[in-house]
Structure formats: structure tokens, C-alpha cells
């Protein structure tokens, strides 16, 4: 049974259609990666699915409940950690988790026990009685995640859980997401990081300008756009000569930097000896050789015409950061 079903979901803000009739289904126990640049409609979609924003069209169910007609039932089954960790800097970590337990209707003593367990789980026991305002970004994200788990939700929404975190904190969050998923929690994760979607998601939906432009497993999406290619850097000899030699072995891709020859190979690593042998027999010296597999960025480029991470970096540069 799908944990999330979305049909023709739309959200307009005045004249702007931020989400333009998207459809998707997330199976129970799955990690669904919702990938797209800033402003693509990821957060708007999450806010509708978590009942924080009313859709202006279409419908959606979460854990079998309609997000508009049965909003309260939806809220009883979901955990939410939004893009900006929604924490009160004046509260302590322990106070926050206990408050969250109360909001979820968990009896006081049980709430205290779960707060202690969760703080232990996210390695914040030592900082539990310090004010959240003094936590690092990674600690705040872990606390936010712990708060989202206090009622053991069936479906967990994580909106860009690692944006702005250092690599170590990012890996810690990934490990926790994997562990939660192993315990049976369905995870709907938005991200603008290709590696995050690739590492974590069972299925990926790519959203751009409010529309889903591609959907599938990371592997199937990558396979859809082509085979791996061999990237050759020549020690001597011309690119044209090398291309003429490689042409019968696979589809030639546009050369990189004018020096690197790119040959698409159907069988991946198994085709490398053929390429090396052909060049060697023709006396073309190769400085280095690399087998390059398609990435989700290639998929993104294929579907949208631009690179996701460049776009994200540009957007990040453009957006003012609150002091």
C-alpha cells in the first residue's frame, strides 16, 4: 500500500503556479528522494503534504488520509523536520522533545522516557539541558530529527535535512535516515544534493519549475540516459586520430577541454581492454583513462538542460543569509 499518493497536486500563489499538477506515489518503507534546485517547488509540496499549506488543486493522501479532509489524522501519522530547523533557541533540547511529546498526546512520563532515549540516539544527551541557541548547525538538525521521531511516525518528511551542514554532520544524518528506514519508517526527503539522493533514495523524483520531469530508481534514471563512457587523456597524438580509432568501439561524445576523448561503451569496464588495445596498436599514447558512469546530474541535465548543483550554488549565492 502506498504511504503517499499525490494526484494532480497544484499550488498557486497569486499568479504564480509553484506546483503544477504533480503525480507521485511513495510505497510503505521506501525512501523517496525529491530532488530539485531552489524554488523548484519541493518545499511547497512538502508543506501541502504535511498539511501546513492548502493545495489549490489536485489531491493527496498520506498514510491513507486525505491531506485536506483528514488533516488532523495525517498529522498524527507523520514526523516533520522542515528546511529551517524549527527550534526555539531559548529552550533546551530536553524541553523541546518533551514539548513535542506533549503535542503528540504522549503521557508525561512516557514523553520523558522517549525524550531521554531520542537524545541518546542522536548523541545529544550531554547537551540536553543546554539552550538550543548554543547548538551547532549539525546538533540542531539532529535535535530537529529527534523531535520529529518522538511519536514513532509512519511517514517522515525531511525537507533538505543536510543543507548547510559540514560533510561529517551530513553523513551522521544519512546514517540516521538509513537506520530509521531499516526500522520501517517511510521517508520523503527533499534535497538539492545529487549525492544525497543517490546515496539514500530508493526512488527519486526530479522536480523543476513545479513539474516532475523524471522519476524512477537512481539506477534506472541513469541507465535511461545512456551507458558509461571512457574518458581518455592523451600523452601524445591528436584527438582526431584517437577519435578515429575509437569510433568503431562506441559512440563518440563531444571531447572535453579539446584534449580528452570520450567514448561511450556499452559494457562498461569490460570494454576498456578493447579501447586500450586499439590505441596501443595504433601507437597512440594514453596518459590516463577513466571509466565515467552517468550520474544523477547527467539525468538532471538531460531533463532540464542545466546542472543542478551549479544552479543550487548560484541560488545560494544570490540568497541573502540571515545573520
Query: Binding residues for other proteins, per CB under 8 A?
Result: 13, 44, 47, 50-54, 72-73, 75-76, 78, 80, 82, 84-91, 95, 99-100, 102-105, 107-108, 131, 147
Q: Which helix (H) or strand (E) holds 160?
A: none
The length of the chain is: 323
Q: Considering beta carbons, is residue 148 or 265 the nearer one to other proteins?
A: 148
Long-range contact pairs involving 177-184 (C-beta distance under 8 Å, separation at least 24): 177/31, 180/149, 180/156, 181/29, 181/31, 184/29
Cα 77 from chain centroid (whole Å): 22
**Beta carbons within 8 Å of 285's beta carbon, 6+ residues apart:** 234, 235, 236, 237
Q: Considering beta carbons, is residue 95 or 297 the nearer one to other proteins?
A: 95
Cα 195 from chain centroid (whole Å): 8
Q: Considering beta carbons, is residue 88 or 224 the nearer one to other proteins?
A: 88
| Shortest spacing between CB 149 and other proteins, in angstroms | 13
Q: Considering beta carbons, is residue 102 or 217 the nearer one to other proteins?
A: 102
Instruction: List for the chain the helix, strand, coil content (%; round to 5).
Output: 40, 30, 30
| Shortest spacing between CB 185 and other proteins, in angstroms | 16
How far is 136 from 118, CA to CA, in rounded Å?
18
| Shortest spacing between CB 202 and other proteins, in angstroms | 24
How far is 280 from 274, CA to CA, in rounded Å?
10
Q: Considering beta carbons, is residue 74 or 308 the nearer one to other proteins?
A: 74
| Shortest spacing between CB 54 and other proteins, in angstroms | 6
Q: Considering beta carbons, is residue 182 or 322 the nearer one to other proteins?
A: 322
| Shortest spacing between CB 289 and other proteins, in angstroms | 49
Rg (CA), the chain: 24
Cα 238 from chain centroid (whole Å): 41
| Shortest spacing between CB 21 and other proteins, in angstroms | 18
Given a contact cutoff of 8 angstroms between Cβ atoms, the answer to whether 203 and 189 are in contact is no
Amino acid at each position: 500500500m502506498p504511504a503517499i499518493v499525490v494526484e494532480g497536486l497544484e499550488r498557486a500563489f497569486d499568479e504564480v503556479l509553484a506546483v503544477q499538477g504533480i503525480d507521485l506515489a511513495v510505497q510503505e518503507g521506501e525512501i523517496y528522494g525529491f530532488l530539485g534546485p531552489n524554488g523548484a517547488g519541493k518545499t511547497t509540496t512538502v508543506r501541502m503534504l504535511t498539511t501546513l499549506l492548502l493545495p489549490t488543486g489536485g489531491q493527496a493522501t498520506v498514510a491513507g488520509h486525505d491531506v485536506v479532509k483528514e488533516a488532523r489524522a495525517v498529522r498524527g501519522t507523520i514526523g516533520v523536520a522542515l528546511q529551517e530547523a524549527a527550534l526555539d533557541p531559548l529552550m533546551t533540547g530536553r524541553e523541546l522533545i518533551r514539548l513535542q511529546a506533549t503535542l503528540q498526546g504522549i503521557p508525561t512520563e512516557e514523553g520523558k522516557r522517549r525524550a531521554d532515549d531520542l537524545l541518546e540516539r542522536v548523541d545529544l544527551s550531554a547537551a540536553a539541558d543546554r539552550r538550543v541557541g548554543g547548538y551547532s548547525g549539525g546538533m540542531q538538525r539532529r535535535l530537529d530529527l529527534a523531535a520529529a521521531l518522538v511519536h514513532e511516525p509512519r511517514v517522515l518528511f525531511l525537507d533538505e535535512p543536510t543543507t548547510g551542514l559540514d560533510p561529517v554532520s551530513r553523513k551522521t544524518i544519512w546514517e540516521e535516515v538509513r537506520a530509521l528506514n531499516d526500522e520501517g519508517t517511510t521517508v520523503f526527503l527533499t534535497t538539492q544534493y545529487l549525492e544525497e539522493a543517490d546515496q539514500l533514495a530508493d526512488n527519486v523524483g526530479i522536480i523543476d519549475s513545479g513539474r516532475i520531469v523524471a522519476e524512477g530508481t537512481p539506477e534506472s534514471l541513469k541507465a535511461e540516459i545512456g551507458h558509461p563512457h571512457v574518458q581518455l587523456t592523451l600523452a601524445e597524438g591528436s584527438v582526431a586520430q584517437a577519435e578515429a580509432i575509437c569510433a568503431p568501439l562506441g559512440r563518440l561524445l563531444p571531447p572535453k577541454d579539446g584534449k580528452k576523448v570520450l567514448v561511450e561503451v556499452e559494457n562498461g569496464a569490460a570494454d576498456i581492454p578493447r579501447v586500450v588495445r586499439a590505441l596501443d596498436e595504433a601507437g597512440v599514447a594514453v596518459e590516463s583513462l577513466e571509466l565515467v558512469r552517468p550520474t544523477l546530474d547527467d539525468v538532471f541535465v538531460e531533463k532540464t538542460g542545466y546542472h543542478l548543483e551549479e544552479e543550487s550554488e548560484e541560488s545560494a549565492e544570490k540568497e541573502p543569509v540571515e545573520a
